[in-house]
Amino acid sequence: MSGAGGRAAVVAGLGGWVPPTAVTNDALARELDTSDEWIRTRTGIARRHVVDPGTATGDLAVEAGRRALRSAGTDAADVVVLATSTPDRPCPATAPEVASRLGLTGVCAFDIAAVCTGFVYALGVSAGLVASGFARSVLVIGADTFSTILDPADRTTRAIFGDGAGAVLLRAGDPDEPGALRGLQLGSDGSRSDLIQVAAGGSRQRSTGLPAEEAATYFTMDGRPVFAEAVRHMAASVEATAAALGGTPADVDRIVLHQANARILAAVAERVGVPLERFPSNIERVGNTVAASVPLVLADAVADGVLRPGQRVVLGGFGGGLTWGSVGLVWPETTPG
């Protein structure tokens, strides 16, 4: 992942943000046929945060982006990449507006849609922009507001998903210095695209003019097969990145995965033969925040002292598409902004 001139993308700053309104399991149970006990034991989640009406993904992305810039001690970036599957509107992309609101007028800015793998995909693409010499710095943001696309009557998805945003500032640096991204692995399997989807609203099934029940604009997920695929692909991806770094998952100090379900983290830990204690988790506090998940758990792990400078880290994700991926680095000195 280093370019011709030996340039690599290096993590220089980190920030996370969740909206203030929290929804506890008990609050959900007052509305739906569910319970705190079911949600905790099946997912590990105690609460999630949701946006109030009028707040959009771009608003969260601006907050997280501002924090990552502050953490890096800069107010500049050459590129803004926003990973999201809940853009402010279907067209245009949300990233240019986020860039402008951050004072980054005129920069290259675009969205990436890889659902829960979005942030890892965005890191990979951004690292390539740095390594090629195109950009000296990239603000990589993952932000989603799945509360805006969930079926209010679907107790399963309502229990899991929460809103949030996280961001990392990448700068050009040396491939051997702490923070340099290495061992990128990305993959997809489009034959299983129906497992995680919003069926309508795109060009295949237009929502215009259809009655609401036919429009199928709500998010749907087939939980059981997704669970199995998540375990299989995240374990294989972590193993591939560890191998690219010259070792095995056992050589990695912290495996920071997309927070889909606490039982998925436990199953991946077992499959790769690494103690669960090395998998930082904030799912109890924020649930599954989709593209925001990896940078949010990074920010929380640093703030909690669970992730420390010098530790060997693999970041990994899995999500709709299906998509998956991971990347490695030695954790640098950072203070979340």
Closer residue to ligand UT7, CB minimum distance, 13 or 142:
142
User: What are the tokens at 215?
Assistant: 């429009």
DSSP tag of 161? B
Task: Report the relative pairing of strands 323-330 and 312-319 from DSSP bridges.
Answer: antiparallel
- We find the least distance from the C-beta atom of residue 44 to ligand UT7, in angstroms, to be 10
> Can you tell me which of 230, 257, 294, 329 binds ligand UT7, judged by CB under 6 A?
230
Is 2 or 117 the residue whose CB approaches ligand UT7 more closely? 117
Nearer to ligand UT7, 42 or 232 (CB): 42
- Give the C-alpha separation, 300 to 279, whole Å: 12
Q: Which is nearer to ligand UT7, 199 or 244 (CB)?
A: 199
Kindly state whether residue 323 participates in binding ligand UT7, applying the rule CB under 6 A.
no
**What b/e readout covers 210-225, taking b as 16+ CB neighbours within 10 angstroms?**
eeeeebbebbbbeeee
Interface with ligand UT7 in residues 255-294 (CB under 6 A): 260-261, 264, 288
Asked if 119 and 317 count as a contact pair (C-beta separation under 8 A), the reply is yes
HSE-CB at 41 with a 13 A cutoff on CA atoms is 5
Quick one: which of 201, 216, 227, 247 contacts ligand UT7 (CB under 6 A)? 227
Unique residue bearing structure tokens 């990994």? 316
Question: According to the binding rule CB under 6 A, does residue 116 interact with ligand UT7?
Answer: yes
Q: H-helix or E-strand containing 143?
A: strand 137-144
**Catalytic residue positions, numbered:** 116, 258, 288
The dihedrals phi and psi of 129, each to the nearest 5 degrees, come to -65, -35
Single-letter amino acid, residue 180: A
Stretch that binds ligand UT7, among 36-44, 97-105, 197-205, 206-214 (CB under 6 A): 36-44
Asked if 58 is part of the footprint of ligand UT7 (rule: CB under 6 A), the reply reads: no
**Residue 218, interface with ligand UT7 (CB under 6 A)?**
no
Question: Under the rule (CB under 6 A), what is the footprint of ligand UT7?
Answer: 34, 38-39, 42-43, 116, 155-156, 159-160, 196, 221, 223-224, 226-227, 230, 260-261, 264, 288, 318-319
